[in-house]
Amino acid sequence: MSQYYKNSRLNDDYLSIDSIMASQERVTSTFRTKIRNLGFLDIGSDARDLEVGVKMELPYWLAAFLCNKRRQIVEVETPKQYRAGQREILNADPVVVDLHKLGPHFYKFGSLFLSFQIPESLNISRCLLETFQGRFKHIMDISQNCLNEDLSKVKSKLDECEKVIFALGQDSLKDFQNWQTRESAKLKASKMIIQQRKRKRNELD
């Protein structure tokens, strides 16, 4: 099992909170092999064993362990947000879609799910790329022009990856505005010097 994790795609961002959260996303899995003494995992059954055909929602990291090149204990289903119907909506106009509602880690979880190498993998991969490309310019535009009171509403529809891009866009705007007003070129006293001056004033008083 340790060798699996060493080679797993989960290891790519082992210490990334976003990767950890994305790996907890549920994947509908159907057991292809009987598993003895684990029937208690199926809440809707009193059977002692997990029988062939039992369908369960498993976290990605567990489903990936049970379904890979070495073992085919379960068969996974494509999550709703990556199925053909949703891909058509995203392809039509990705900008208007509330991506956070589809999944806060839409891109990260999607890229992890590609490790199952199902027949739809190529279409899902293309959808992820085209969705990102289609939304990127829009996100950068609103990060440069969005009023403060609109921030929460705008960010609520973004995936976690997009929120980072949005924040970077706003930071770059602030840096540019500081450059325009020459704020970035002004020399400022360090905090240490300011604190020393305050102490001297207090001593004199």
pLDDT at 170: 87
Q: Which of the two residues, 104 and 42, has the higher pLDDT score? A: 104
pLDDT at 12: 54
CATH code that applies to domain 1-77: 1.20.58.2050
pLDDT at 155: 86
Q: Mind listing the pLDDT tens digit for each residue in 113-135? A: 999 989 999 999 999 999 999 99
Among the CATH numbers 1.10.230.10, 1.20.58.2050, 1.10.540.10, 1.25.40.10, which is that of 78-205?
A: 1.20.58.2050
CB burial class (10 A; 0-12, 13-18, 19+) of residue 189?
Answer: exposed
What is the average pLDDT score of the chain?
A: 84
Task: Domain ranges for the chain, please list them.
Answer: 1-77, 78-205
- Indicate if 78-205 has the same CATH topology as 1-77: yes
CA distance 20 to 25: 9
pLDDT at 1: 35
Q: Which of the two residues, 6 and 24, has the higher pLDDT score? A: 24
Does residue 167 surpass a pLDDT of 60? yes
Does residue 89 surpass a pLDDT of 80? yes
Tell me 27's DSSP state.
Answer: E
Average pLDDT of the residues in 125-154:
86
Closest CA to 166 of 147, 127, 138: 138
pLDDT at 205: 62
Backbone angles phi, psi at 20, to 5 degrees: -65, -45
